[in-house]
Amino acid sequence: MSTHDPQLDEALRTVRQSTEFFDAALARLERAEHEGGRVSGDDVYDQPSLLPGWRRRHVIAHVAANARAFLRLAEWARTGTEHPMYPSREARDAEIESLAARPALELRCLHRQGAAELDGCWRDATRPVWEARVRTAQGADIPFSETVWMRARELWLHAVDLDAGLGFEDVPPEVLARLLRDITGHWSSQGADDGPAVRLEVTDHPELAPEVPLPATGGEPALVRGTLAAVVGWASGRDASGLDAGAEVPAPRWL
Indicate the angle between helix axes 6-33 and 147-161, nearest 10 degrees.
Answer: 20
Euclidean distance between CA atoms 240 and 243, whole angstroms: 6
Give the per-residue pLDDT at 149: 96
Euclidean distance between CA atoms 146 and 131, whole angstroms: 9
In the chain, ranges of CATH 3.30.1050.20 domains? 173-235
Task: For domain 6-166, say whether CATH 1.10.10.10 is its number.
Answer: no
Q: Which CATH class is domain 173-235?
A: alpha beta
Give the per-residue pLDDT at 215: 46
Give the per-residue pLDDT at 62: 98
Euclidean distance between CA atoms 200 and 113, whole angstroms: 39
Which pTM does this prediction carry?
Answer: 0.90
Euclidean distance between CA atoms 255 and 253, whole angstroms: 6
Euclidean distance between CA atoms 42 and 192, whole angstroms: 40
In the chain, ranges of CATH 1.20.120.450 domains? 6-166
| Residue 5 vs residues 25, 110, 127: alpha-carbon distances, Å | 31, 30, 10
Segments of the chain with pLDDT less than 50:
215-216
